[in-house]
Structure 1
Amino acid sequence: MSQNTGPSRPSDCPPAGDGSRRAGGTPGSGRRLTVADVLALPVLAAGQPQVVTGVTRLDRPVRWVHITELTDPASFLKGGELVLTTGMPLPEDAAGIRRYVDELADIDAAALVIELVRRYHRPPDALVQACRARRLPLVTLARDVNFLEVTQLVHALILGNQTDAMRRTQRIHEAFTALTLRGGGPEEVVRAAAVMSGRTVVLENLVHQALICEPSGSTVEEVLTGWEERSRSAPPGDRTQTRGPEGWLVSPVEYQGERWGRVAMLPSPGTDAVGAAAAFSSEDVTVLERTAMALTIARLIHSTPWERTAHRSALRELTEQRHHSPEDARARFAALGLPTEGTVYRAVLADGGTFGDGAGLESRLSRELTALGRPALVGVLAPGRIGVLLALRPAQRWRPTVERLSRLVLGVDPGAVVSVGPEVTHLADAARSFRAADRVAEAALPGRPPPDGRSFHEQSDIGLRHLLYALRTDTRVQDFAERRLGPLLDHDSRHGTGLLTTLRHYLDAAGNKTTTARRGNLSRETVYQRLRTVERLLDCDLESGEQRTELHTALTALDVLRLG
């Protein structure tokens, strides 16, 4: 018996084992056994197998092995069998051979293996032509092979794989059941699906916006670029199946006839449409079906719509700069429907103590922007804080839109603060606009409305008082105010004098003593006397412009520190 470990083949054909390597894994690794796997087994390799036709179809799964010497073996087959024959029952005429092959192809036999030892020493031309016409893999064996040993070994592998597959399927069900019982949200569900399958999984809504994306082996940019167009080319279906030119495995997410979207599992990068259908295993189907079921349950028990969750997640990733690259961020937001071409961006923050979880106001702001026809993402960024990312055309007026949003916020919480960041031209810079809006919010003085009759705050509003208010928790500011004014405050406290008030009037009057006297309802002589006392207590020269500036800054800091 030959000691060859692989089949011989024509020089222009890949080895039969290539199908196994393309499909990944080895026999018994848990995936489906393929024709290439069986041909690579030592018991068959000893027969010097040669692939005559169907070399590109060696990744076909083998459901069973069938030995036959019948002229009509197809009547005993169900599909997926590897048919072994000595060639003895083949018809003599070409028409009979074509009928024999057609019957095998019609029931979807995995492959035909013929031994060239007893009746034939080369495959009949009619057999080769018929198998090539029906794309049925035809494999010849140059040496005698114990077919019974082949069936025993292959069937053991198949049954072992089936047992392993049952165990893995059980683990899949258990994992999703546990996830559902602990109330996992849609992001957890999609992430679990990607981890279990090792594939990219995307949840989209009915208008083909990618709401949640968990890439595997790809970047977000690669997965989501042109998402809507690509998704629309994969028409919806009523069950889990491969769809579209890219061969996505998709499953609808619905409840009692109401469809909310679908979840898609993408084939590995580089897989063509022909190979995509075979790329997914029964376990992938199980994972996706359980994903769709878990998403349905998550939708029922979590009141927040998917779109709101997606907007929140995207905005948090943006503000915290958790995107892997600017290109990923661009693809992510484009897949959510935000314009990314010919667009500028501006951040808006709403901070209030009575927003609750923010979901109600979040929805109202989103509806208002939709009514205005303004593309934007709206999401709760933290308790008591809602973020809005406006996408605007260059030179488009943004103030009326922000004014509408601000008045809506103040209608819910009159004490809320709405702040606006600067315009940025690139989505990757939007985090900078949010940071600037945050600084504006920190500097907004409580109880003091913005200037110019506006209801929102912007960077131009920040003066010395606002800046010091934003820095009020900095101990250096506190120390500065105490060092410069502490002795004066102590003197007023011990003696009941109003030297601090006199100093305030003096600084507000830009050093004019007459105006100081009038504002304090004091005589000029009293003012002179008090100012000399101030200079002595503070060891300063009030005629010095620099020292007056320091005292004015310290006094302003004291005021904002007292605001709390």
Structure 2
Amino acid sequence: MNDNNPAAQEPIRPLTVADVLALPVVAAGQPQVVTGVPHLDRPVKWVHITELTDPASFLKGGELVFTTGMPLPEDAAGVRRYVDELADVGAAALVIELVRRYHRPPDVLVDACRVRGLPLVTLAKDVNFLEVTQVVHALLLGNQADTMRRTQRIHEAFTALTLRGAGPEDVVRAAAEMSGRTVVLENLVHQALICEPSGSTVEEALTDWEQRSRTTRTADHTAVCGPEGWLTAPVEYQGERWGRVAMLPTCTDDGPAFGPQDITVLERTSMALTVARLIHPTPWERTAHRNALRDLVEQRHRSAEDARTRCAALGLPTDRSRFVATLVDFRTGNGGTEPETRLFHELRTAGIWALVGELTPDRLGILLALRPSQPWHPTVERLCGAVLGLDPQAVVSVGSEVTDLPEAARSFREAARVAEATPPGQPLPPDRSYHELSDIGLRRLLHALREDTRIQEYTERQLGRLIDHDAQHGTDLLTTLRHYLDAAGNKTVAARRGGLSRETMYQRLRTIERLLDRDLESGEQRTELHVALTALDVLRAR
């Protein structure tokens, strides 16, 4: 992987007390941990050599204190005070050399360290404290330099995202890649708008999201919050808060779940999301609905449970619901964000749960989530009223009702077939304001298939010679054939419709049979010609 990519590198682990004790320069002194074994994972920020009776006054916390034991007070109270001061200031551990003053640690020192949870380490052999300092400080400074380089790369990566106008999905994805953790963007009502899982699935990350999120308080700054220990940061601008971004701990975290680099990543994520919100006019909720719908339509979820969990985190009821896919095609170019928003609010005001989002330019997808006892026909009619109020020429196509969310893809496919089979100006059924599968007859089916060259070849093969004859001789035998087929083979009715005598009708039909090499008395062949004539009408209407 590219070493310049912060996501490609393992996080820097801080140097701990146990690490220092394992260094050859310290191990040569035969260190023995007397107290505080559970605390050997404490990070070491510095090494401090002291022979003072009050070394705590020179410490800031995190120091590994080395001493020969010479300055330890004689009295028990003084020893306890010495240990208390080290513990209070946050010293990482106390290392005492048993060479000069002591050959075993005083009991009062051991007891005091055990009470305060301060690791006490003894050295049985002489150790060069100066050499220890040099080795440890070199390691610490190397870690600090590496941390600074990685932090700089994080800043550069987010700056590049901002400069190219990255959207919120790109920002959250980058944060997950850099941290190796799941990152979630939510709005103010605790709906998960964007989830980029890392080391987990969508199902694991978002199950019961709203409930879990509400138990995680919203801090005014980047902080670890809640019972699960999320790292969260608000997303806001000039005092207006839009939501927050959360980084979730992994099940493999040992020790502190988040380090300084994680905090840097999340803070830069928050800043980049603020910029994305300012430069991209589409509200986050609309983008989230669009992505959820497209994932359902294209079946891009890893599993059915992932699909249910993601939609539930957006506020869509997925348990014991029925779903109906609806497509709205704006024939006058009235698509975009405004219809999405207005239709969503119209449905929500009516107490109807739905995902609403643009699937393609001038086409909206709407997935209605209905209660078991809620009929879908009145709901779709209400939706149609709102749609036609926005665009009287809009076409609403409906798929069949499904009972499981992953099956919504089938309902959307059916709605798409209905839309494809609905030519411009197609009258609505007399009892409703939308089109559904049962409306697709032969003419509309052929309209949907009009781009298929097999339909075009069939039409030309069946009728081409007749059309060519009309063009070359100025006749209108095609119209005669149409009257005959419309009359279901009744020559008298066909002659009357064409304003012809029976003898003229018979003569023209014989000519048609000769040109097409067809028997017009055959019901099957009349059906074939009728299909071809209907297809010709559809093809000419393009």
Distance 1:430 1:122 in 2: 75
Does the 8 A contact of 2:331 with 2:395 survive in 1?
A: no
Give yes or no for the alignment of 1:542 onto 2:524: no
Q: Percent identity?
A: 75
Report deviation, 1:252. 0.8
Does the 8 A contact of 1:450 with 1:461 survive in 2?
A: no
Equivalent position of 1:532 in the other structure? 510
Match of 2:135 among 143, 153, 159: 153
Cα deviations across residues 139-184 of structure 1 (Å, max 9, x unaligned)? 3333322221111111111112112212221221122112112111
Equivalent position of 2:452 in the other structure? 474
Distance 1:356 1:151 in 2: 72
Distance 2:12 2:313 in 1: 35
Give yes or no for the alignment of 1:279 onto 2:257: yes
Q: Secondary structure at the match of 1:216?
A: coil
Match of 2:185 among 203, 210, 214: 203
Equivalent position of 1:3 in the other structure? none
Q: Secondary structure at the match of 1:213?
A: strand
Give yes or no for the alignment of 1:508 onto 2:486: yes
Match of 1:218 among 174, 180, 200: 200
Report deviation, 1:134. 2.6
Match of 1:181 among 163, 166, 179: 163
Match of 1:76 among 46, 58, 73: 58
- Trace 1:6-155 onto structure 2 (pairs within 5 A): 30-155=12-137
Q: Indicate how the Cα distance of structure 1 residues 357 and 144 shifts in structure 2: closer, same or farther if over 3 A, else same.
A: farther
Q: Indicate how the Cα distance of structure 1 residues 329 and 135 shifts in structure 2: closer, same or farther if over 3 A, else same.
A: farther
Report deviation, 1:260. 1.0
Equivalent position of 1:14 in the other structure? none
Report deviation, 1:44. 1.7
Report deviation, 1:356. 5.2
Q: Tell me which amino acid in the other structure corresponds to 2:102.
A: Y
Does the 8 A contact of 1:218 with 1:269 survive in 2?
A: no
Does the 8 A contact of 1:32 with 1:281 survive in 2?
A: no
Give yes or no for the alignment of 1:231 onto 2:209: no
Cα deviations across residues 109-161 of structure 1 (Å, max 9, x unaligned)? 22222233333344344333333333323333333222211111111111121
Cα deviations across residues 459-506 of structure 1 (Å, max 9, x unaligned)? 111111111110000000000011001111112222222221121122
Distance 2:434 2:293 in 1: 21
Cα deviations across residues 184-224 of structure 1 (Å, max 9, x unaligned)? 11111111111111221111111111111111111111111
Q: Tell me which amino acid in the other structure corresponds to 1:218.
A: S
Q: Indicate how the Cα distance of structure 1 residues 237 and 552 shifts in structure 2: closer, same or farther if over 3 A, else same.
A: same
Report deviation, 1:66. 0.9
Q: Indicate how the Cα distance of structure 1 residues 454 and 119 shifts in structure 2: closer, same or farther if over 3 A, else same.
A: same
Cα deviations across residues 68-123 of structure 1 (Å, max 9, x unaligned)? 22222111111111112223333344433332222222112222222333333443
Equivalent position of 2:368 in the other structure? 390
Distance 1:419 1:523 in 2: 46
Q: Indicate how the Cα distance of structure 1 residues 44 and 558 shifts in structure 2: closer, same or farther if over 3 A, else same.
A: same
Match of 2:349 among 367, 371, 379: 371
Equivalent position of 1:6 in the other structure? none
- Trace 1:330-341 onto structure 2 (pairs within 5 A): 330-341=308-319
Does the 8 A contact of 2:223 with 2:232 survive in 1?
A: yes
Q: In terms of mean alpha carbon deviation, does 117-126 or 163-172 score higher? A: 117-126
Q: Secondary structure at the match of 1:65?
A: strand
Distance 2:323 2:74 in 1: 77
Q: Indicate how the Cα distance of structure 1 residues 39 and 538 shifts in structure 2: closer, same or farther if over 3 A, else same.
A: same
Q: Tell me which amino acid in the other structure corresponds to 2:297.
A: T
Cα deviations across residues 408-465 of structure 1 (Å, max 9, x unaligned)? 3233333322111111121111111111111110001221122134221111111111
Q: Tell me which amino acid in the other structure corresponds to 2:81.
A: R
Q: Tell me which amino acid in the other structure corresponds to 2:500.
A: L
Q: Secondary structure at the match of 2:144?
A: helix
TM-score normalized with structure 2 length: 0.94
Distance 1:390 1:352 in 2: 19
CA-based RMSD:
1.9
Match of 1:410 among 380, 384, 388: 388
- Trace 1:417-436 onto structure 2 (pairs within 5 A): 417-436=395-414
Runs of 4+ residues deviating >6 angstroms = none
Equivalent position of 1:17 in the other structure? none
- Trace 1:224-263 onto structure 2 (pairs within 5 A): 224-263=206-245
Distance 1:347 1:125 in 2: 77
Report deviation, 1:374. 0.9
Q: Secondary structure at the match of 1:502?
A: helix
Equivalent position of 1:269 in the other structure? 251
Equivalent position of 1:499 in the other structure? 477
Distance 1:434 1:125 in 2: 78
Equivalent position of 1:562 in the other structure? 540
Q: In terms of mean alpha carbon deviation, does 42-51 or 208-217 score higher? A: 42-51
Does the 8 A contact of 1:356 with 1:383 survive in 2?
A: no
Q: Indicate how the Cα distance of structure 1 residues 60 and 449 shifts in structure 2: closer, same or farther if over 3 A, else same.
A: farther
Q: Tell me which amino acid in the other structure corresponds to 1:370.
A: R
Q: Indicate how the Cα distance of structure 1 residues 554 and 54 shifts in structure 2: closer, same or farther if over 3 A, else same.
A: farther
Q: Secondary structure at the match of 1:422?
A: strand
Q: Indicate how the Cα distance of structure 1 residues 552 and 214 shifts in structure 2: closer, same or farther if over 3 A, else same.
A: same
Distance 1:296 1:339 in 2: 29
Distance 1:452 1:529 in 2: 41
Distance 1:460 1:111 in 2: 79
- Trace 1:309-320 onto structure 2 (pairs within 5 A): 309-320=287-298
Equivalent position of 1:8 in the other structure? none
TM-score normalized with structure 1 length: 0.91
* Structure 2 residues not aligned, in runs of 5+: 1-8
Q: Secondary structure at the match of 1:423?
A: strand
Distance 2:33 2:487 in 1: 101
Q: Secondary structure at the match of 1:140?
A: strand
Does the 8 A contact of 1:51 with 1:140 survive in 2?
A: yes
Does the 8 A contact of 2:233 with 2:270 survive in 1?
A: yes
Distance 1:328 1:361 in 2: 28
Report deviation, 1:251. 0.7
Match of 1:168 among 130, 140, 150: 150
Q: Secondary structure at the match of 2:57?
A: helix
Q: Secondary structure at the match of 1:298?
A: helix
Equivalent position of 1:322 in the other structure? 300
Q: Indicate how the Cα distance of structure 1 residues 465 and 126 shifts in structure 2: closer, same or farther if over 3 A, else same.
A: farther
Q: Tell me which amino acid in the other structure corresponds to 1:104.
A: L
Does the 8 A contact of 2:423 with 2:447 survive in 1?
A: yes
Q: Tell me which amino acid in the other structure corresponds to 2:389.
A: G
Does the 8 A contact of 2:334 with 2:391 survive in 1?
A: no
Q: Secondary structure at the match of 1:390?
A: strand
* Structure 1 residues not aligned, in runs of 5+: 1-24
Q: Indicate how the Cα distance of structure 1 residues 36 and 450 shifts in structure 2: closer, same or farther if over 3 A, else same.
A: farther
Q: In terms of mean alpha carbon deviation, does 104-113 or 218-227 score higher? A: 104-113
Q: Secondary structure at the match of 2:367?
A: strand
